[in-house]
Amino acid sequence: KEVKKQFIDEPGQMRLLIVVDKLLTGFDAPSATYLYIDKQMADHNLFQAICRVNRLDGDDKEYGYIIDYKDLFRSLDKAISDYTQGAFDGYDKEDVAGLLKDRLEQAKLDLDNALEMVRALCEPVKAPKDQNDYRHYFCCKSGANADELAEKEALRLMLYQSVAK
């Protein structure tokens, strides 16, 4: 009970929580991001497990990640069919929101956006644009002092932010 309370009250302090047959119902932890499934689950229990990581927790969490060691998602078409036929009408909208979102399509959009941001950020780099040219653009030439490095810090931060998402 203490661990559950800590996970709810201070999710940032709990990096890993291992459970077996617990915390699938009557428990909400939007900060949970990864779910590793290593046992057979089906129907309602599988849906409840997915919902543990499906809830959003601020702008830094777009969706949860499920690592499925038991290949339980082979029958995902049936789950989608059940969902679209009203099988989950009794569930909270927050639990099912985003469940059927096309993650691959969203990931491609995110990648395309990041690539465009990097292209725009690197446009001022002079040709031939090899590794050293980029290194000098973002970090200065060899032997640069702290002031020169500090001047380039904003560029480096923009680069990191554009590829970190």
Q: How far apart are CA 68 and CA 76, in angstroms?
A: 12
Element spanning 62, H or E: none
Q: Which helix (H) or strand (E) holds 37?
A: strand 34-37
Closest CA to 17 of 29, 50, 51, 26: 29
**pLDDT(163) > 80:** yes
How much is the pTM?
0.46
If one counts every other C-beta atom within 10 angstroms of the C-beta of residue 51, the result is: 22
pLDDT of 120 > 60? The answer is yes
pLDDT tens digits for range 17-52: 777 767 666 666 677 788 888 888 877 777 777 777
Read off the pLDDT of residues 75-109 as tens digits, 9 standing for 90 and up. Answer: 555 655 665 566 666 777 666 666 656 667 778 88
Give the model's pLDDT for residue 118.
Answer: 93
Neighbouring residues of 39: CB distance < 8 A, sequence distance ≥ 6: 20, 70
Residue 82: predicted pLDDT: 61
Res 116: pLDDT: 94
Taking the C-alpha atoms of residue 57 and residue 90, their distance in angstroms, rounded to an integer, is 23
21: which 2 tokens? 């047959």
Q: Give the other-Cβ count within 10 Å of 127's Cβ.
A: 6
Report the mean per-residue pLDDT for the chain: 78
pLDDT at 149 over 80: yes
Whole-number pLDDT of residue 81: 63
